[in-house]
Structure formats: structure tokens, C-alpha cells
Structure 1
Amino acid sequence: MKKQFGILAAVSALALAGCSYGTAQGVESAPAPLAAVELVMPPERDPSELQILFWNDEQRSERFRDMESWFAGHEVPAASNPRPLAEGTPLPAELAQEIRSLMLETGAAGVMVWDDGGVRFEDYALGFGPDQRWTSFSVAKSFTSTLLGAAVKDGFIASLDDPVTKYVPGLAGSAYDGVSVRQIATMTSGVAWNEDYTDPSSDVAQMARFVLEYGPEATVEQLKGLEREAEPGEKWVYKTGETNLIGLVIENAVGLSLAEYAQEKIVEPAGFEGGLFWMTDMRGGNIGGCCLSLTLGDYTRMGIFALEGGGGTVPQGWFAEAGDSLVDFESRPGFGYGYQWWTYPGSYGAQGIFGQSITIVPGDDLVVSIVSNWPTATGANRGKWFQMIGKIAAAD
């Protein structure tokens, strides 16, 4: 198996060197990528060491801030003109202490509060610091959504109502026939999917098997074997596989990897100071549903970028729509889902397993960024931080 991993890594490198993502019919050719997006290859390791869901607490704390040493990915340099994060009025001392106590209780490695134009709170734990990057897990989905908006703005994707099969023809004849790009953006395709992280036979757990068996065709091969359980647009089901599919749609339409496109459409205009690392798949492209790494400050810069409307890189009003409750959760009034953003009462945000999040409160010009090492992938800690963010929003 160790040798097999080495072969997989080599194939990924070869795919990047000679990769052609293709360009959607009827749009202009791919833009030239900005300079110095590089492929990073980790040391060869036994695949048993790469099972993230089974890392212990110590391994997670160490490896979440050093994913570049464990997985292949694209290294995107810092913006040519990083955005400074001004120092704001500190939060009241009692509230700051509550945040630090909750950090300790929930295994948070870093928390930053940006409010009314300045950083009002910033603290770190678990050996993590301001110059290090921490993995995002599904926070990456909201980055992929932003690149989807950019591809629409640039004309590479004609409409969110285009069929998915226009951009990923390999899914023709599958349950994705008749499904629109908008419906995969809101996870309402009607295609069945099991996202149970504790079930080794679930669809999300089987993604690794498809990579081993099908290599560059893994995502298409897995998705085209799924069944439809509802008509498109009628049922919401959380599906990491479909965000990977959004990544394919974008890369096929634009002709660049997500990381290369993100350099032009997110990293530069948002002014990231610490660059970006985004894990690659066997095609040499990036994993749309997961696995980019950022400094805590750059998590916050992404939130500010969304709060301010995206600097002209996405259609006018994109974030207002993407962060709106396009799907309402009947069991949780006020909560829902937009275009790969979770929506909450008066706010919206990006979430990732083990406690990563960016929460944006437009009415208060507030962004709260959190990176963590929870003991389990999901749990009650999210609710505790919702309550804390409410206190922060109400603070003077």
C-alpha cells in the first residue's frame, strides 16, 4: 500500500504537468494563471497514516497546521498587496475572558473577531500562531462557491440554470440528467448521498476507494453510479461529493485549477497575507469540497471579502444571494443553506468539521473566524459558539 500511495502521488504530479481541464463550449479561452502557483508533494507515507478521521488528538493538533507535509496540493503565494487588519477597540475584558474559556473548553486553536473595521480580539492555542496555516475542511466549500460566482461573472458559466452535464459530460445518462448547476450549488439535486463520517460504507467514506480504483475519473465514476431519490430542487441533502462536482464544473469551464483561479479571484483581491494551500486530486485539479489551509487572519480576510461584496470578482449581489436561505430547514427555524454557505438568523457562514468556521454578520459589520481541533468531527460545540457570537454581536 505504501508503494501504491507513491504511485498515486506521482500520477497526481504528472496530471498537473500535462493536465487540460478543458473549456466550456461557447466561452472565451482560459485566462493565463498568475505566476508561482506551485505543486507541493509531501514525503511518501503509508496510507494508514492519512486517515484523518482516525487521527488522535495529538496528531490532529500537530497535523491540522501542517497539512502540506501530509498531502499533495497547490501552494498559492500571498497577495502582492496584502490587506492590513487594523487593530480595533478591544472587546470588554469579561467577554474576552469568556471567549478564552470557550476556546479551552472546545479545543479552539485560534479565534479572531473583526468588528467595524478592526480586530477586537485575537488569540491562539494548541501550539498554533498567527503566521501558521490551519486546515479548513468544508470551509473550502464556500471558497468553491465564490469561484462559481466568479466563473459566472467572467462568462465561463453562462447561467446557474445550465445543466451540470453541459460542463461535465461524463455524467450524461446518470441521475444528474436534468440537474442544474444551481441545484448542486444548493445541494438540492435530488441525488441520494450518505455523508455519515462514522460509517465506512457511506458515500463520503467511499470517496477514497474510488480514487484508488479510478484515479483521475474518481469523482465522475462515483457520482454517475448514484441513484435519484427526489426530483431536482425538491430535497436538500448535504453532499461533499457534489461540491467536488462544482469544482469540476468550474475547472472544466474556466480551464484552470481552483487554486489558480482562486489566486486571481480571491487571494489577490481579498489581500491574503499568508497565501493558500489547497489539496489536489488525481486529476491535478483541486478538491472542491475540502482541504485548503489558511492563516487565521486570512480566514478573516475571506469573511471581510464576502461582507464587502467580493470586490467586483463575482456578480453584483452574489454574496447577498449566496448567503441567503435558499433552502429553509423546517426543523430549525431561521437556519438554512445558500450557495455552499450555511445561513443563520441575521448571519451566514462557512463551516468545516472539527470546528472550523467563518461567521459573517452583515448588520453588525462583524466577522468571527475560528479554527479548532474538536475531539469529534461534529458535535455540540458549534451551538456554544453560536451563542458566543451572539454575545460578541451585542457587545459595545
Structure 2
Amino acid sequence: MKRIPTMLASVATLALSACSFGAAEGFEGVSEPLAAVTDVTPPERAPSELQVLFWSDEERSTRFREMENWFAGKEVPASTNPRALSTGEPLPDELAAAIRKVIADTNAAGVMVHHKGAVRFEEYGLGFGRDQRWTSFSVAKSFTSTLLGAAIQDGFIANLDDPVTLYVPGLAGSAYEGVTVRQIATMTSGVAWNEDYTDPNSDVAQMNQFILEFGAEATVAQMRGLSREAPAGEKWLYKTGETNLIGLVIENAVGLSLAEYAQEKIVEPAGLADGLFWMADARGGSIGGCCLSLSLGDYTRMGVFALEGGGGSVPEGWFAEAGDSLVDFDNNPGFGYGYQWWTYPQGFGAQGIFGQSITIVPEKELVVTVVGNWSTATSFAHRATWLDITYRIAALD
């Protein structure tokens, strides 16, 4: 399904007026998706029911398994060639018991350990099962990063050092003037943002309000209203809004929603076996910074796909670069951030609030996948505990 890139500046300008994706009207040379990607329209609900950050524990445990019943999005079919996950030698009893204790302590819904080519541990809880899907939250950012690499590989995005405004012209004259795609990929734009999940007035909590007020222009409206707090490239600050911008950059350049592009560049080559639901934004595209739903096995398949280099979907060495410490955290040596991947003393990974993660240790051929429902959106203690478990597995012969 090779597509011929169009002139990038023209694509970026035309795409701003596109409210639906797939038919790709106005995008010369963009072909149809591999197979039917369907729009999901859930029952109509009051805005107050959709405030995910403020759902109760019971609501989260139930609704994280069925986000397509709460939010609009796109349903991507399973790969035509699903990747089998073979069963390997079980982990040592003592280590398996330690994992089960952490599952209980952190309210995990599913854990899978894929080590040296085979699954060595797999367990479920909270009513979640092998054939169900669970929401990703910000684990989606690492999928969006992968699609950024794919758009570069396909020639739709010329260079990571292109200005963001080339692909999202609506940001011209804002704090994003002069900011590059690389800088939003590493969250070093220098633009101010509040990611406090407990504050209903924070920027991240206000994203839904912008959708209500601005509809299809919500992301651009919110991001162009932000102010600069540091020179571009000099300060790291975690911003879900900037991953949403990466999504806009990709969709405007390629002419497909992230979900549709993911079908070709991730779902098919990674062999995802249970399909994918990706929550939609107000334009009919996909939310770059959040909210895929996948089975536990398919999160693991994505980890293995990254571990193996991306099957030609991305430039050679993309994951080695994207999963490298392009930003180092001075107050936490050994930890950092790449292109929408967190970096650790060993390996790199994707993280999402309430306990979602894919952790990859390439030199040990190890992928540890966890989905869950923490009592709080973030927990440094829980993250550290799961990373410790990962390193204990990595230390096995």
C-alpha cells in the first residue's frame, strides 16, 4: 500500500479543512486503507459522565474495558496475519509469586511477560480477560510516535526539524511559531502547560471543554492560546496537548486518521490479533495523546514490534533513537524521555495513567505489559515497583 507523497506545504494547508478521513478528498496520491475501518458512535451521554479523570474506582474498573461504549472513535480490524504468541517456560515460582503480590498491591487488570520469544507469565483480574480490550491512556503516545516515524519513512514528513506550523498552519503567530516537530516529539517546545490530573481547571482536564466550545478546531484553539515559558528546546515539560499536535501533524501530512494509518503501519505488520479502538477527536480524526483500546496480548505484540525494529514501517534505527534518552532528567539519573517513549536505566517504555505500561529491555529480549486501575492517576511508587519486577526478570539467565 505504498502512497506517493504530495507537496507537504499544500497538504498541511488543505488538511485543516478536512473533518473526516479515509476518503482523503483533496489529498492527491493517498490511497484507501487496507480494509474497513469503522466509525463507532456510542450512546449519547451527559458531558459530566465523560469526565474520565473523576470516575470512581468501580466506574474505572468497568469502563476501562469498554471505552467504545462511552466515546466515539474508530474500530480497526485485526491483522490479516495475526502474530502467534507462543508459551515458554514459566517464570520461577518465587518471581511469579512476587508478581502476583504486585498485581494485588497495584490493582492490575492484566500482566504479560514476553521473554526471549515466548510468553512466560500471563494473568488477569478486575473482570478483565484475554479476549477483552483495555484502555491505554498515554501508552497511545508511543503508538503516535511510531506513526510519526512511519510518516517520515513514507516521505509525508520531510524532517523532524520542520516547523510545526508547516503542518498545522493554524498555530502561526502562537507560542508554537518556530517550534519544530522534533521539539514537540520530545516535549521540549518551551510552551507552558498544566498536566495536573487532579485539578479540573488544568490544561489536560480542560481539553473536553475546548471540544464543547470549539468543536473541530478544539486542539488548535487550546494550543494557540498557550504562552511560552522557556526558549524552544531548553525545557522538558510533559504535555498531552503536544502529542495531540503530533497527531495533527501526521494526519494533515498523510491524509488519514491515526487509526487508519495505524492499520497499515502497526496493526498489520505487528500482527495485532484483536483489533484496535482509537478514540476520536472532534474533527473525526484520532486523539494523538490518548486512548487506544487493545487486548493485553496486542499491547505485548506492539512491544515485540518495537523490540524487533518495526518491520520496515519506520526508518531503520527509529526505535533505538525514539527510545533513547534525548532528554535526561537531572533529578532522576538514568531516566529520561525520547520521542514519546520514557527511557530507563535499562530499556524504554510507554506509560499511561492509572497503571498502563509496556516496558521493553531490548538486550534481554524482554517485554513486560501491565494494564490496571490504580487508585490515583499517577504513582511513582507503583511505577518503581513494576520497574523493579522488570529488572528482576531481565536478570534471569
CA distance in 1, matches of 2:214, 2:47: 17
Quote the residue 1:6 is aligned against: none
Q: Describe the superposition over 1:76-133 as per-residue Cα deviations: whole angstroms up to 9, x where unpaired.
A: 0000000000111110011111111110110000000000000000000111010000
Q: Aligned residue pairs: how many?
A: 379
- Which residue number in structure 1 is paired with residue 94 of structure 2? 94
Aligned equivalents of 2:373, 2:26: Cα separation in 1: 38
Amino acid at match of 2:264: E
| Alignment partners' CA distance in 1, 2:224 and 2:182 | 18
Paired position in structure 2 for 1:385: 386
Q: 1:15 to 1:180 in 2, by over 3 A?
A: closer
CA offsets per residue over residues 152-198 of structure 1, 9 Å max, x none? 00000000010000000000011111110000000001111111111
Residue aligned with 1:148, SS: helix
Identity %: 74
Question: 2:159 and 2:22 mapped to 1: Cα distance?
Answer: 29
* 2:355 alignment counterpart: 355
Measure, in 1, the Cα distance between the counterparts of 2:202 and 2:125: 33
Match of 1:7 in 2: none
Q: Structure 1 41/392 Cα, relative in aligned 2: closer, same or farther at 3 Å?
A: same
Does the C-alpha gap of structure 1 residues 78 and 19 become closer, same or farther in structure 2, counting only changes over 3 Å?
closer
Give the conservation status (yes or no) of the 8 Å contact 2:110–2:122.
yes
What's 2:259 paired with? 259
Q: Classify the secondary structure of the residue corresponding to 1:189.
A: coil
Distance across 1 between alignment mates of 2:227 and 2:242: 14
Determine the structure 1 residue equivalent to 2:207: 207
Partner in structure 2 of residue 131 of structure 1: 131
Matched to 1:275, the amino acid is G
Which residue number in structure 2 is paired with residue 300 of structure 1?
300
Structure 1 residue 31, shift from structure 2 partner = 3.1
Q: TM-score, normalised by structure 1?
A: 0.94
8 A contact 1:138–1:290 mirrored in 2: yes
| Distance change (3 Å), C-alpha of 1:270 and 1:113 | same
Which residue is 2:59 aligned to? 59
Q: Does 1:321 align with 2:325?
A: no
For residue 55 of structure 1, report the CA deviation from its aligned partner.
1.1
Deviation of 1:346 (Å): 1.7
Which structure 1 segments of 5+ residues have no match?
Answer: 1-13
Please give the alpha-carbon distance, in whole angstroms, between the structure 2 residues aligned to 1:21 and 1:266.
24
Equivalent residue letter for 1:233: G
Aligned to 1:45: 45
Matches of 2:199 and 2:374, distance apart in 1: 19
- Report the Cα distance in structure 2 between the residues aligned to 1:29 and 1:176, rounded to whole angstroms: 29
Following superposition, the deviation at residue 288 of structure 1 comes to: 0.1
Q: Match for residue 280 of structure 1? A: 280
Hey, what does 2:198 align to over in structure 1? 198
3-state DSSP of counterpart to 1:204: coil
Shift of the alpha carbon at 1:49?
1.3
CA contact (8 A) 2:73 2:279 kept: yes
Q: How far 1:30 moved relative to its partner?
A: 2.0
Q: Aligned partners of 1:61, 1:192: CA distance in 2, in Å?
A: 33
The aligned residue for residue 20 of structure 2 is 16
Give the match's secondary structure for 1:371.
strand
Superposition map of 1:104-143 within 5 A? 104-143=104-143
* Structure 1 pair 21–218 and aligned structure 2 pair: CA distance change class (3 A): farther
Kept in 2: contact 1:21–1:251 (CA 8 A): no
Assess if the C-alpha contact under 8 Å between 2:274 and 2:294 holds in 1: yes
2:21 and 2:255 in contact (8 A); partners too: no
Letter in 2 for 1:182: R
What are the residue-to-residue correspondences of 1:113-192 with 2, within 5 Å?
Answer: 113-192=113-192
CA distance in 2, matches of 1:105, 1:16: 43
Task: Identify the residue that residue 30 of structure 2 maps to in structure 1.
Answer: 30
Deviation at 1:393, TM superposition (A): 1.0
Q: Is residue 22–residue 253 contact of structure 1 (8 Å, CA) maintained in 2?
A: no
**Greater alpha carbon shift after TM alignment, 43-52 vs 69-78:** 43-52
Equivalent position SS for 2:142: helix
One-letter amino acid matched to 2:99: I
Q: Is the 8 A contact 1:145 1:185 kept in 2?
A: yes
Q: Distance in 2 between matches of 1:31 and 1:277?
A: 21
- Asked if the contact 2:22/2:33 (under 8 Å) is kept, the reply is no
CA contact (8 A) 1:277 1:294 kept: yes
Which residue number corresponds to residue 234 of structure 2?
Answer: 234
Task: Summarize deviations over 1:211-254 as a string: whole Å, max 9, x none.
Answer: 11100000001111111111111000000000000000000000
Q: Which amino acid aligns with 1:91?
A: L
Specify the code of the residue in structure 1 equivalent to 2:233: G
Give the whole-Å Cα distance in 1 for the aligned partners of 2:332 and 2:359.
18
8 Å CA contact 1:257–1:286 kept in 2: the answer is yes
Q: Would the aligned equivalents of 2:349 and 2:359 in 1 still touch at CA under 8 Å?
A: yes
Q: Distance in 1 between matches of 2:251 and 2:212?
A: 22
Secondary structure (helix, strand or coil) at the match of 1:205 reads coil
- TM-score, normalised on structure 2? 0.93
The separation in 2 between residues aligned to 1:248 and 1:19, in whole angstroms, is 17
Hey, what's the Cα distance between the residues in 2 that align with 1:22 and 1:134?
Answer: 35
In the TM superposition, what is the alpha-carbon distance from 1:141 to its structure 2 partner?
0.1
CA contact (8 A) 2:22 2:32 kept: no
SS at the partner of 2:206?
A: helix
